[in-house]
């Protein structure tokens, strides 16, 4: 158990990044090693609506899903010692940043497009892949989102690193981010 988190004044950590960047895997390891609670925003939405993410997209459309994302993020903003894995499209909304910046240390898991693509290719649980069916269009979405992800307070390069190593770096960087808050 890493007890370094006891000296951090942030109540929560939000993991940010493209689909397949490892937010859920790293989030679970980070929560396990620190004793914080792990939450996955998509899983919370599924639980709340009793509908899978592809079902929400196909029945009600992406706009409705985005509303649900914001609503669920807001509901979880008063928690304590939580590691939250967010959906890859969440940082595209200004409203979400207001909540993120108020309640979370935002950590962007930077991952190359090739690695993300290999991990998510053919995943039926990611309805956005139907909207961006070829590599080129998905790459354009990835590039368009980078500036949103880069608003995060901490940016971690995940290339060639294990979830354990990434989790350890998050703890170290969170302490630095904390002391620079003043
Ligand atoms: C989305 C990413 C997904 C999920 C939904 C939309 C996106 O989450 O929220 O399918 O817009 O990039 P992951 O990033 O966990 O795959």
Residue listed under structure tokens 């290339």: 159
CA of 167 to the centre of ligand 1 (A): 21
Cα–Cα separations (whole angstroms), residue 17 to 12, 61, 182: 17, 22, 27
Instruction: Tell me the three state secondary structure of residue 73.
Output: helix
Phi–psi pair at 179, nearest 5 degrees: -70, -25
Ligand 1 pocket residue status of 92, Cβ below 6 Å: no
pLDDT digits (tens, 9 = 90+) for 81-130: 999 999 999 999 999 999 999 999 999 999 999 999 999 999 999 999 99
CA of 87 to the centre of ligand 1 (A): 4
User: Six-digit token pair at 178?
Assistant: 């904390």
Strand partners, 106: 14
Please determine, for residue 179, whether its predicted confidence score (pLDDT) is greater than 90.
no
Per-residue pLDDT at 10: 74
pLDDT digits (tens, 9 = 90+) for 158-177: 999 999 999 999 999 998 88
Please determine, for residue 4, whether its predicted confidence score (pLDDT) is greater than 70.
no
Ligand 1 pocket residue status of 42, Cβ below 6 Å: yes
Can you say whether the dihedral through the CA atoms of 105, 70, 156, 22 is positive or negative?
positive
Pick from 124, 62, 123: nearest CA to 93 = 62
Report pTM.
0.94
Indicate the DSSP class of residue 16: E
CA of 179 to the centre of ligand 1 (A): 32
Ligand 1 pocket residue status of 87, Cβ below 6 Å: yes
CB 11 within 8 A of CB 147: no
Q: Whose CA is nearest to atom 4 of ligand 1?
A: 87
């Amino acid at each position: 158990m890493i007890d370094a988190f006891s000296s951090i004044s942030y109540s929560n950590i939000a993991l940010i990044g493209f689909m397949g960047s490892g937010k859920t895997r790293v989030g679970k390891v980070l929560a396990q090693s620190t004793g914080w609670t792990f939450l996955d925003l998509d899983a919370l939405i599924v639980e709340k609506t009793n509908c899978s993410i592809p079902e929400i997209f196909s029945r009600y459309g992406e706009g409705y899903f985005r509303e649900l994302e914001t609503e669920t993020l807001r509901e979880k903003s008063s928690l304590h010692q939580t590691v939250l894995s967010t959906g890859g499209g969440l940082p595209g909304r200004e409203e979400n940043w207001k909540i993120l910046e108020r309640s979370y240390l935002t950590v962007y898991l930077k991952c190359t497009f090739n690695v993300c693509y290999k991990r998510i290719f053919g995943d039926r649980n990611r309805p956005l892949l139907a909207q961006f069916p070829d590599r080129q269009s998905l790459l354009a979405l990835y590039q368009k989102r980078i500036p949103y992800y880069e608003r995060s307070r901490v940016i971690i390069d995940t290339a060639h690193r294990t979830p354990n190593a990434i989790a350890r770096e998050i703890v170290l960087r969170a302490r630095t981010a904390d002391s620079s808050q003043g």
